[in-house]
Structure 1
């Protein structure tokens, strides 16, 4: 097998696990002066060597995943150590049979047997042990999550009925939410995740709204995080089961967003009595105001939002400006960045908001919803829906638990 077809196949195989894999680049700089087996990171006294970072880099670099490759490689290996430590405390270990099945299944996803995959990886300078370590981490973590949260992931027949109605458009459901959005940076990560865990335990509307006024960076901060009524089908798909599983007054687990963490409290839920479609595509525009969230930009964005009748009006506004100032996107709901998707969920067609900035804060974003394309109804299996709800619930528990482990861990990076 030549190198390029192998890389293309491997990229396709990794697409389904993008949330658990991160791209990495080969180590450079200070690491080159260290022994390959010197500790690069200590995670609760468990070492990650420069050799492991280099190997993970070689494995993940061929994926061409977005983001800073060096940082992502380190984050992935820190998470692996925390997962394995949690597994040991729970008394869970991967069996030889389980590891072999994991390797075989992984290879089968790219239409290879494990021997050919190991040989192809070797040609890229990647040891078999690197792939085995990745498989072991995922197997043991799955066992930890099932052991700790499996009993809490059961879904009722009523929840299945509601999910089918919400996702097929056979019944309309609206929700009234409170939100807290807290910015997340490498410097404040531990403090923010720890705070988010505490806020998720709030039980009253008053306490949540006070917390929103204190900690939230969303535009709803001054109103205690209050969001107007919205159709559940407008929400990002991964958020729907989280919201619909809540009872009035309950708060979601902390949910990761790009550069932020979010919590939602359900205030009320209502049946609309009419069908509400799900959507196959969302058409929206982003107009960037350089300078970020300045008073001048906020005033300009407010003026524009009040004067625009439809999305095409933005083309006239952006005339004679650099092309990158105005971006139009038509994406499937699951392709939209979650912070953008949440903001779009609050908008009607040809309505605009200016609550978001780019990740670096250098541009204020005037976001405008142009329209949604309804999805044709398909027959839905109750068992498929139930399994999807269980998996989403387990994933939410797993992400929250991993965030908690990170917040409590002693992590020293060389």
Structure 2
């Protein structure tokens, strides 16, 4: 337990993870900003329990969004309220919510629908039935068409200890290397000519499956590679080995799952969300000291 948590009263413990009164107070302050009604402290505590369970599950299935995704979402939220991120941070701090708490909330809100979608709409736990696929295609009148990509990641590795000192240099190296990229078949040989550069084949990925931060890069790609970007691994760009239009059952399922995910993220309402959380709660160790 951190010093900050130890200095605060424990409001609940979820699978040995403490939720403090400070955590609850920040969520209650956030609920006040949303003009929620009722016993805000109790509502906040239960939300924090749910968030803790969701965060654990997101980590377990390795479907968390990146901090870059969260920061961009925070910036968009600030802009939608006609503020800079700094101004939004001041408002949140003054309201008792805090930037860190709000960003943690954003991370869960962005990651969780993807986990629910994977759990109940195919993903890693099963596939759509033939009956459901036929029904969805009948509703649309035709089988969906999407773009299938075969991709490789070219990663200019930056150790965490050297991140501040060499990140800009590695970005320059990545940008310079794009014009010399010989194609996917020769990618590993190409990487071997440079220091600490690795190649990761990503295989078959369809357009709806692309992470949100990859889509604009791929759409603007030139010479078979995307613009480099900074990630937790260092600096990387994507090589587009091949792309084609596909319209098979697998593609249809991917498109339908993406449509369902988009609806859930837009409306914030997914019947499977509640079912999943109840399932996690039933298996969890939750105590109220």
Give the TM-score taking structure 1 as reference length.
0.34
In terms of Rg, which structure is larger?
Answer: 1
Greater RCO structure (CA 8 Å; 6+ sep) = 2
The structure whose residues are more often helix, as a share, is: 2
